[in-house]
Amino acid sequence: MKVAVIGSGNIGTDLMVKVIRVSDVLEMGAMVGIDPASDGLARAARLGVATTHRGVEGLIAMDGFADIGIVFDATSADAHHVNARLLAPHGKRLVDLTPAAIGPFVVPSVNLDEHVGAVDVNMVTCGGQATIPVVAAVSRLVPVPYAEIVASIASRSAGPGTRANIDEFTETTARAIEAVGGAARGKAVIVLTPAQPPPMMRDTVLCLVDAEDPAVHDAIRAAVADMVDRVAAYVPGYRLKQPVQVVPVPDGQPVRTLTGGARATHQVSVFLEVEGAAHHLPAYAGNLDIMTSAALRVAERMAAS
């Protein structure tokens, strides 16, 4: 199935390269941008991909547009609202890599089967793709009244689109922690670090649970390890940084974030690292790789269905 990528920045270019190098299901039909001098459009042209610098209007006017079945949007939250409206009359399936969240949240290892038929699916955020599978693994065993994630990425892997959507990142990720991860309340934090050399993406997941049985603790550790393996099947650089920790909540520690009288006896702490595949950017840009890899998995399933 032919696909188009809207957005010729870091994420869009990496996604284009993945479609060409990795997928045996998808074929690049067009690369779309708004800057005629962008590196992404130039690289697409060198690879023999049809390009336009006139945005979605240019895509719709291109020869071969009718043959494109799936459109990836790697622009911004505001732009996706416009792009989705313009593409709606043409019957295209949309995979949204922005925090616009028009369609249902999709994390492939958690809920892809439920939404493979949706017209417009939202890939949440890089932090969401990295951490929501862990929250879901825990919440399937015991209630999670509160979950908090911290995503730390190298400044050099955060392009203009990422920086322009920081607020949307935290809000969208928190909502998805609840809607997809199963937590009663979610919180998300993103950290951009200018450290040199640029560090790989690191993610911390903290879940408060009511679980005093040591056997349940073992089950939580096993469930998280299994989920990490499932994500690593399409994001090879995704891994646990250290063993899963399940420790008691200190006596007397106020847990003001819990609502509805929920009780928490233990904290589950999971520390992750995401190494990029270096298809377009260096390996430290795991935040881009997990988004594009997840989007590729979703589009391939859409095409197969």
Give kind and range of the element (H or E) at residue 102: none
CB neighbour list of residue 189: distance below 8 Å, 6 or more residues apart: 148, 149, 150, 151, 170
SS3 category, 189? strand
Quick one: how far is CA 180 from the chain centroid? Answer: 12
Pick from 64, 77, 140, 129: which is nearest to 103 by CA? 77
Task: Judge whether 164 is annotated as a binding position.
Answer: yes
Q: Is 158 assigned a ligand-binding role in the annotation?
A: yes
Q: Is 91 annotated as a binding residue?
A: no
Does 303 show up as a binding residue in the annotation?
no
Asked whether residue 9 is marked as a ligand-binding residue, the answer is yes
122 is in an annotated binding site: no
Residue 83 known to bind ligand: no
Cβ atoms of 235 and 203 within 8 Å: the answer is: no
Nearest to 64 by CA among 100, 31, 109, 103: 31
| Distances 257 to 91, 127, 198, 283 between C-alpha atoms, Å | 43, 21, 33, 36
The first and second tokens of residue 236, run together, are: 């090879």
Residue in 56, 126, 149, 285 annotated catalytic: 126
207 is catalytic: no
111 is in an annotated binding site: no
Query: Does residue 161 have a known ligand-binding role?
Result: yes
Measure the CA angle with vertex 13, ends 7 and 18; round to 5°.
125
Asked whether 134 and 146 are in contact (CB, 8 A), the reply is: no
Annotated binding residue 10: yes
User: Which residues are known catalytic residues?
Assistant: 126
Binding site membership for NAD(+): which residues?
Answer: 8-11, 157-165, 287
Which residues are part of a known binding site?
A: 8-11, 157-165, 287
